[in-house]
Amino acid sequence: MSQERIVNLSFVAAALILWFVSASLFAQVLDFVGPDWDMHLIGREFRLSNMVGIAVGIAGGMYLWRNERIFELAHEVAGELRKVTWPTWPEVKLSTVVVMTVTVAVATCLWAFDTVLGAIIRQVYRI
């Protein structure tokens, strides 16, 4: 996939996220103002808050896409991500096993220290 397509798809994804978040926010605000404010526009599921959310998502996506500084930064990030050497699936599995093993070992050591120090402190305070 070309770098230009990745950048454009990231702007579309940002617009969709903005739509979902703003639609939920507007639904909560309109429900707080009054139950009749968030009226049904098309069917039972498409409400005024969804329409406002779509408008905010489209406006936000267009703003991000048209902003030269953000557009240039997105191209730089996509270019740098192309240079990354991604690990292979066996390397990911091995790293996961190592992380889980070390996590269990550290958790066991912390549990042992906590148990021993708790017993010592209980003995000190009984004196």
Same domain, 56 and 17: yes
Instruction: Tell me: do 46 and 76 sit in the same domain.
Output: yes
Tally of structural domains, the chain? 2
Q: Are residue 56 and residue 108 in the same domain, yes or no?
A: no
Tokens of 14: 């940002």
| Per-residue tokens: 40 | 């049904």
One domain for residues 57 and 6: yes
Amino acid 127: pLDDT: 67
pTM of the model: 0.60
At 52 the pLDDT is 85
Tell me the C-alpha distance between 1 and 13, whole Å.
16
Same domain, 96 and 65: no
37 and 93 inside one domain = no
Q: Please say whether the beta carbons of 65 and 75 come within 8 A.
A: no
Q: Are the beta carbons of 11 and 70 closer than 8 angstroms? A: no
Same domain, 31 and 61: yes
pLDDT recorded at residue 39: 63
Domain range spanning residue 35? 1-84
Q: What is the pLDDT of residue 58?
A: 92
Q: How far is CA 111 from CA 6, 116, 117, 123, in A?
A: 46, 9, 10, 18
49 and 60 in a single domain? The answer is yes
Tokens of 7: 């950048």
What is the pLDDT tens value at each position of the chain, 127 positions in all?
788 888 888 889 999 999 989 988 888 887 777 767 666 667 667 777 888 888 999 999 899 888 899 989 998 998 898 899 989 999 999 999 999 999 999 999 999 999 999 999 999 998 6
Residue 47: predicted pLDDT = 75
